[in-house]
């Protein structure tokens, strides 16, 4: 056991999907995985392990923001030996051309408070990134490949304007966790990728209705799972 996880050694697969929302973790496990069993429930951050097309895979909720996410990533990696992590979360569009429900595959990410530091831009595992991009094209997913900006602040008096510096550097979407998952994965020496679903637009003010959750996230989850499955099969 770890401080925030009651799972036993061997309860997690080598690859893990990391949604923020526990309900989304449960929905994915129940809908898309075979033989899923619950392995963690501490603090309501549910974790499950099952299989997808014969590939062992886990799903672990991480909560909101980088402090919570980094705790769960650290414990999954150091306590349970997880070697590949993939964020499947929500994001906001910073470009009018990016529509609601489309997917963002994050080419790179930085915290909004660190944009002036060239070393603040972190990247995903190149193999996972390339595989996801190819799978998205082959599968006909509505997607965009671009840099993202992450922030610890959700509510702000100038939602779009505060990201002007990031958009000038090419960021087309924002969230709270992608920069953190890329940074901590690099530190811990594991493979990471972030794929997000656009749930609102900071440009147009549009947002999906809460009634759409959790099914609106199925394309994102399937892209993540198909990427992992295909990429795992192609590795020597």
Residues marked as catalytic: 200
Which residue in the block uniquely carries the two structure tokens 């990533």?
A: 73
- Helix/strand/coil (H/E/C) assignment for every residue in 103-133: EEEEEEEEEHHHCCCHHHCECCCHHHHHHHH
The two structure tokens encoding residue 20? 């923020």
HSE-CB for 206 with a 13 A CA cutoff: 13
User: Strands 15-18 and 84-93: what pairing?
Assistant: parallel
Answer yes or no: are the C-beta atoms of 195 and 165 closer than 8 Å.
no
Answer yes or no: are the C-beta atoms of 155 and 72 closer than 8 Å.
no
Answer yes or no: are the C-beta atoms of 25 and 37 closer than 8 Å.
no
Answer yes or no: are the C-beta atoms of 18 and 72 closer than 8 Å.
yes
Answer yes or no: are the C-beta atoms of 39 and 57 closer than 8 Å.
no
How far, in Å, CA of 4 to CA of 206, rounded?
A: 36
How far, in Å, CA of 7 to CA of 73, rounded?
A: 14
């Amino acid at each position: 056991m770890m401080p925030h996880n009651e799972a036993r050694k061997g309860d997690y697969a080598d690859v893990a999907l990391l949604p923020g929302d526990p309900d989304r973790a449960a929905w994915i496990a129940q809908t898309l995985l075979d033989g899923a069993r619950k392995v963690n429930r501490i603090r309501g951050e549910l974790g499950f392990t099952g299989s997808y097309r014969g590939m062992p895979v886990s799903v672990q909720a991480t909560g909101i923001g980088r402090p919570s996410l980094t705790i769960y990533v650290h414990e999954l990696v150091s306590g349970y030996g997880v070697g590949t992590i993939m964020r499947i979360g929500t994001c906001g569009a910073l470009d009018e051309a990016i529509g609601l429900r489309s997917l963002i595959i994050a080419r790179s990410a930085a915290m909004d408070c660190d944009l002036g530091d060239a070393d603040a831009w972190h990247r995903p595992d190149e193999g996972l990134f390339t595989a996801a991009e190819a799978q998205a094209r082959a599968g006909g997913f509505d997607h965009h490949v671009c840099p993202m900006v992450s922030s610890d602040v959700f509510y702000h008096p100038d939602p779009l304007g505060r990201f002007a510096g990031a958009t000038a550097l090419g960021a087309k979407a924002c969230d709270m966790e992608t920069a953190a998952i890329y940074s901590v994965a690099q530190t811990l020496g594991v493979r990471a990728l972030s794929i997000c679903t656009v749930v609102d637009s900071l440009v147009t003010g549009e947002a999906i209705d809460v009634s759409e959750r959790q099914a609106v996230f199925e394309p994102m989850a399937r892209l993540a799972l198909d990427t992992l499955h295909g990429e795992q099969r192609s590795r020597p």
